[in-house]
Every structure is written in C-alpha cells, then in structure tokens.
Chains A and B, each alone.
Chain A
Amino acid sequence: MWTWLHKLASPPHAFRLLDRMAPWFGVPACALIVIGAYWGLVEAPADYQQGDGFRILYVHAPAAWLSLSIYVVMAAAAAIGLIWRIKLAHAAAAASAPVGAAFTFLALATGSIWGKPMWGTWWVWDARLTSELILLFLYLGYLAFRASFDDVQRADRASAILAIVGVINVPIIHYSVEWWTTLHQPASVTRFAKPTIALSMLIPLFIMLAGYQLYFVWVLCRRLQGEILRRERSATWLATVEGTA
C-alpha cells in the first residue's frame, strides 16, 4: 500500500498519470457545459418571479460552488503537504489557487449582474456577498504570499498555513444565508431537504455543476503538471515528455 502510494507520488509517475487522466475530464466537461448551457437557456422554463433573468443561476451557482470546493481542496492538500511532507500535495494546493480565484471572481461578477435587475443594485454589503469577497482576497493573498518567496519549498510550507487558517471562511459563506438576514436567496438545493426548485430547472443545473467540477479537475491536472516540473531539479525523465500541449 505505502510503496504503491510512494510510486504514485513520484514526479515522473504522477506527471504521466496526469497526462493520461486529463482528457477523461476535459472532454466530458466541455460536453456537459455546452449541454447544460443550452438546456438552461432554451429548454428550462422561465421562473414565475424572475422570468428569464433566473437563467443566470446556471453560470452563477456552479461558479460559487466551485469557489468553495476548490478552497477546501486547496486547504486539504496544503494540510497533507504540511503534515506528511508530501511535495505533490503542496503542488496540488499551489495549482488550485489561481483557478479558485478565477471562479470566486466569476461568482461575484455573475452574482452582481444578477443582483442588478432582481435587487436593484450591483452590490450590497451583506453577509453572503461580503464573505465571498473575503474568499477572493484569501485566494489573492495566498497567491501574493507565495510569490514573495524565491524558494518553492519555503513558499509551500508558509502558504499552507495561510490556506488552512482561511478555511474558517468556508462554513461562514455557506451558512451566511441562514445565520444572517441577507438579500441573497437561500439555497435551492440542499443535501437534507427536498429541493425548492422544479425538476425541469434542476436538471440543467446539475449538468452545469458536474461540467464545472470536471472542468476544474482538468485544469488542475494541467496546472499540477506545471507545479511538478517547477519542483524538479534533476530530472532525466523530462527528456521523454512530449511536446508542449
């Protein structure tokens, strides 16, 4: 078991495995996102309160969901790297951060575009929006903090602590719509209750959520390969790596 894990975490093996894995996530991700967008824009019925404006849900909710789950992945990877001193885990944390920042920005931007017609304002300093903005600053702070180190290994260890401490913000964002009175609507889909959204609207949402998740794994594969290379010093196996793509 441990020798198998050790082999899996060795740079050349992980790099080649990621090469083989990536298309299995990238291709379905593209297909699901295209199908989900078509279904959400064309097939799903208009909302009785929000009309066609609710369709922003299909790009907003998956981005917001990813912004949180990527942070959890990043903090977990950073913790694993710190505790068991696994370089590959640190590399995964570093590879997650820019993608997480992009999706947090996207969640804030699409939410703002949705808020204008529904709430009458682009922005309001309520609990959900403010905590999501803090998440963006956490990602950007993590990236800037990493960039301030010349040595990758020191950057890994120091930024891991920042990532782990920042995870406290994740439940705050998630429960913000319940703990405080906010303008933001409560979740339409939760694990424990029946969804408060019609099935014909729900199916394209799930397709988009799945598509975005797979997309993240694909991007993570590619970025993780870059982070593995960055940590390599003496690598004869590089000669066998093909091309640029």
Chain B
Amino acid sequence: MREFLAMGGYAAYVWPAFALSAAVLVYNAWAARRFRARELAAARRRMTSNARNER
C-alpha cells in the first residue's frame, strides 16, 4: 500500500494531477445542474410575471 501511494517517487505529481482532475469533473457536473436549476427558476418567474401582465 505504501509502495502504491509512493508512485515510484512520483507521488507529488501523480496524486495532485488525479485530484485536480476529479475536482474539475465534480465541479463541472455540479455547475451544470446548478445552471439548469437557475434557468428553470428564472424561466418560471418570467412566465408568471408575463401571465400577470396580460391580465
């Protein structure tokens, strides 16, 4: 296990590269879902205010 974590002396490069990649993947997934949710809320607000204006 210790040998695996040491990555043949490249631990200081391999692990940050993988950690950064994981962080970017997780962030993008989260940001995409948040974007969708925000646009949905904004579109619904527009719709209700349009309906009110027409009355």
Question: Which residues in A have some Cβ–Cβ distance to B below 8 Å?
Answer: 26, 33, 37, 41-42, 46, 51-53, 55-56, 59-60, 63, 98-99, 102-103, 105-106, 109-110, 113-114, 116-117, 215, 218-219, 222-223, 225-227, 229-230, 232-236, 238-239, 241, 244-245
Which of the four size classes fits the interface of chain B? 20 to 34
Name which residue of chain A comes closest to B32, CB basis. Answer: A222
Q: Which residues of A contact B17 (CB under 8 A)?
A: 56, 59-60, 109-110, 113-114
Asked if B13 contacts A223 (CB within 8 A), the reply is no
Q: Are B18 and A41 in contact (CB under 8 A)?
A: yes
Residues of chain A with a CB closer than 8 A to B25's CB: 33, 215
Give the distance in Å from the alpha carbon of A233 to the alpha carbon of B40 in the complex: 12
Q: Is the CB of B33 within 8 A of A238?
A: no
Nearest B-chain residue to A19, judged by Cβ? B36
Q: In the complex, are the beta carbons of A109 and B33 less than 8 A apart? A: no
Cβ-defined contact, A46 with B44, below 8 A: no
B contacts, CB < 8 Å to A: 4, 7-10, 13-14, 16-18, 20-21, 24-25, 27-29, 31-33, 35-44, 46-47, 50
Asked if B42 contacts A229 (CB within 8 A), the reply is: yes
Q: Known contacts A42-B4, A53-B13: does B35 contact A223 (CB below 8 Å)?
A: yes
Cα A221 to Cα B45 in complex, Å, equals 23
Looking across the interface, which residue of chain A has its beta carbon closest to that of B18? A59
Contacts of B38 in A (CB 8 A): 226
Q: Is the CB of B10 within 8 A of A117?
A: yes
Residues of A within 8 A of B14 (CB): 41, 52-53, 55-56
Add 11 more A-B contacts to A223-B35, A241-B40 (CB < 8 A).
A26-B29, A52-B7, A53-B10, A59-B18, A99-B28, A222-B36, A225-B40, A226-B38, A233-B50, A234-B50, A238-B43
Q: Is B13 in contact with A225, judged by CB distance below 8 angstroms? A: no
Shortest Cβ distance from A108 into chain B, in angstroms? 11
Q: Using CB atoms, name the residue of chain A closest to B11.
A: A52
Residue from A41, A51, A99, A235 in contact with B47 in the complex, judged by beta carbons closer than 8 Å: A235
